[in-house]
Amino acid sequence: MIKFLKFIPAQLTFFLIVGILFGNYFSISPNQLVLVFGGLILLFTAIYFHSNKQFQTPFLFTVLVFLLSFFIGWGSITFKNQLNNEKHYSKELQFSTNKPFSALISIERLLKSTAYYNKYEAEVYEFNGKKSVGEILVNIKKDSTKRQLQVDDNLAVKMVFNLIAEPLNPYGFNYKKYLQQQQIHHQISGAHSQFLRLPKTKQTIKGIAAIVREKITEALIYYGFKNDELAVVNALLLGQRQYITSELQQSYAGAGAIHILAVSGLHIGIILLILTAVFKPLHYFKHGKLTATLAIIIILWMYAILAGLSASVVRAVGMFTAIVIAMFVNRPSSVYKTLVISMFFLLLFNPYYLFEVGFQLSYMAVFSIVWIQPKLYQLWKPKLWFLDKLWQLLTVSMAAQIGVLPLSLYYFHQFPGLFFISNLVIIPFLGVVLTLGIGIMALSVLQMMPQFLADGYIFIIQQMNKFVGWIAHQEIFIIQQISMSFLLMVALYAFLFFGLKWVEKKVFYRFVLVLISIVFIQTVFIFEKYMAQSMNEFIVFNESKASTIGKRTGNKIIFHTSADSLKRSSNFKIAYLVGSGLNEILPSEKIKNLYVFKNETILMVDSLGIYSFNSVNPTIVVLQQSPKINLERLLKNLHPKLIIADGSNYKSYLEDWELVCLNNKTPFHNTLQKGAFVLNK
């Protein structure tokens, strides 16, 4: 591992990543970046020729190389960011909002539908009559009489381009941030009648791949594939997860096998093993090894195109392309080096991969397997061949899970306790499913598949789904709602790294580093506990057609809810508890009429519309359950400094109240627009 850290591409990748991080959080104009980069290149060139004359490499030369790598990272994310392009459609939007704009868009990707909308990712290639660039989210109301749009469909629209909404409650999933990493900043929504379909002007590779996938799906349906079986085949073999139901996805997540449903490194690795075996005979001919290598690389990238060139597929194929090249040049011992080189070029191609959970989990899992699995395997040497293979598979699964555990807890807040059983069964199963599936797809499209073969394959998929469902229903083994901060995740990785280094070689300084990492973890726990105990908050949550108030004192919280809220599940409460790391929840109570929090007196006005109290002078008024009141009279009588309206009110009331508050110069907080109101001063 120490030798690997001295590997120059590893060092360059490290500085590239640091540059990407700086570029993401600190913006700089492309022109300024070009000037800085040009100056560094001139200085680098001068020092290079000077060092050649001196026959030695000065320290400044090394510093400049790392600086160049740093600014390459910064530059890559700056130039990849479409908002820096003068032709980006948002340049027009910044001068006027809430106004419909004319645009021509092209569908690039089909997304998972919701209950009411079909969702797409599209490119804006013309905006207000000018050529433009930029990606948007398209939401079209479902209509059973209309055909769903396809990749490469061109549309003319005239509608409002809305910003993606931020989470409306604390610690909720930030869909806006997620889409920003996909370069999507706005969305449009409407009925089919608002989208005028235009003739197709071009056929892209993605469009051709989508047509091929549609033909394969139609052929599979002809042979009896439907519902979950068809959805799993589409996910496993074609990289299309939008057909997976929420229930099936939750089952795979609970079983610790959600990675099975996304074409990733595991799938590409199995396909690579199949291709290697198929092309092995070519090695006996002149230039056969080169021919086999090129054929494997071409097939892998053709498969990536067929799977829609999603981020996970491109990452996996890019990583294994590097491994195939390393195999060709007979460097089997340089797995670390191969991985880091593939990471360097993938991040250079798309620096936004760095912020994707899949990218982080994939590389962490592979590095962990390469580093940790041999150590676990050495703990026991089974003499029986079957036990040995079983032990190898188990150690691979354990190594991957150990490596990704802190990341998984940080992002998903749950740990599937039976992951080793599900992976022990499903991974070998997956090899059979993929191998058979490729043949099934080919035979079905050619209409040469015997029906018994299709029925047998459907049966295999059904049994895999049933097994996953059974594992997921052992809820006692699924540990949920685990709170994990970024700082604690870093501390755990430090302990894991130094602990494994000490196991490799038990020397004193490594043991000291292990102790320091333990102290680091304890310090984080103490710091976070102190911060939690010193935090007091009054929260008006955003909840549709119901009301919930949270009153937090230290690490305790009590929820005050309306009668409607008591009858429904509240995911936002769970998100708040997990995100804030609270460990004590007091029993819920009904909402009171009056609250006092620090220096604020908060009056709750519900559907009864009662707000006149002789002894009360509220500073904040919360409107809920659509009270029929004269707000202007309320403002004149009570003189509050803030009006809050939660999600239980009629939208028409909210519009009227906002106008009244604007006329009376009283701040108005609508939770449907601005999210939950949090008072913590």
Report the C-alpha gap between 249 and 247 in whole angstroms.
5
The confidence score (pLDDT) of residue 568 equals 59
Average pLDDT along the chain, 681 residues, taken 10 residues at a time:
64 90 84 80 74 61 83 89 89 75 91 88 91 93 84 91 90 89 91 88 84 89 88 85 83 78 78 85 84 90 84 82 78 70 87 88 85 87 82 83 88 79 75 84 88 90 86 78 89 93 88 94 92 90 89 88 67 85 76 88 88 80 91 89 92 91 92 91 64
Task: Please tell me the CATH code under which domain 90-202 is placed.
Answer: 2.40.50
Q: What is the pLDDT, as a whole number, of residue 584?
A: 62
- Segments of 183-322 assigned E as strands: 184-190, 196-198
Tokens of 490: 């870093």
Residue 172: predicted pLDDT: 87
* Residues 6 or more apart whose Cβ sits within 8 Å of residue 182: 121, 135, 352
Q: Is 427 left (phi over 0), alpha (psi -120 to 50) or beta?
A: alpha
- What is the reported pLDDT for 642? 93
Cα 368 to Cα 403: distance, rounded to the nearest angstrom: 5
- Tell me what pLDDT residue 567 has: 57
CA distances to 18, 23, 121, 312, 353 from 182, rounded to whole Å, are 20, 16, 10, 13, 9
Instruction: Output the pLDDT for position 53.
Output: 59
Buried b (16+ CB within 10 A) or exposed e, 568-586: eebebbebbbbebbbeeee
The predicted structure's pLDDT at residue 157: 92
Q: Assess contact for 481 and 413: CB atoms under 8 A.
A: yes
- The Cα–Cα gap between 122 and 197 comes to 13
Show me where the domains of the chain are located.
2-80, 90-202, 207-256+419-479, 486-533, 536-679
Q: At 415, phi and psi to the nearest 5?
A: -130, 115
pLDDT at 33: 80
Strand partners, 507: none
What does the DSSP assignment read for 556-606? EEEEEE-HHHHTS--HHHHHHHHHHT--EEEEEEEPPSEEEETTEEEEEE-
For residues 290 and 298, give the distance between their C-alpha atoms in angstroms, rounded to a whole number. 12
